[in-house]
Amino acid sequence: MIEIEIKAKLTELQYLNVKTYLDTNFTYNGSVGETDLYFNGIDRDFAKTDEAFRIRKEVKNDITTVYITYKGSKLSKNIKARQELEVAVADYDTMLKITKALGFKEVATVEKQRHYYKSGDITATLDNVTRLGYFIELEMLALETDDLTKYSDLLFSLLDKLGIEKSAATNTSYLEMLLNIQE
């Protein structure tokens, strides 16, 4: 699958306004706490190749689910679209030990509270990211790269409907933002 994503930083007022719109026009799918532990590659620097590899611990209604995710390089400079491969794993601690035993090095941890909304093929999330603030992410999944422009246009149209200017959108990941403020 190819993930097409638009992310924008929000003020607290924008966050509340967007939440009101989503509560009215989308289906609310609950909130989760997510802790993402990112790693660097063994044979290459993921910061240079624009890849990502993480273990995610997700807590929803006191139930913890663990995922391991690989995100490939971005397929376009103008659109945040990339291959995403993800699988649930049974045990966080064991997965962490396996990852370290294989030689992957920890880079940073991203923590956030995330509220999920859905309308048709669009997933919207409202995020409160520790040390970074409020964000909205709009996402669609495509089977082929032919759909990138069509889907990104649709997501930018929704962003506009939410009263958020296109210039507020960023291709910078939460990990990159955190690493930039640590420097």
- Residues marked active site are found at 38
Q: For residues 168 and 164, give the distance between their C-alpha atoms in angstroms, rounded to a whole number.
A: 7
Q: Is 80 helix (H, G, I), strand (E, B) or coil?
A: strand
Closest CA to 156 of 147, 141, 168, 143: 168
Q: What is the residue-wise DSSP string for 28-84? A: EEEEEEEEEEEEE-SSS-HHHHT-EEEEEEEEETTEEEEEEEEE---S-SSSEEEEE
Q: Among all chains, which residue has been given the structure tokens 């603030």? A: 133
User: Is residue 148 helix, strand or coil?
Assistant: helix
**Separation between Cα atoms, residue 149 and residue 154, nearest integer Å:** 9
| Residue 8: both structure tokens together | 């924008």
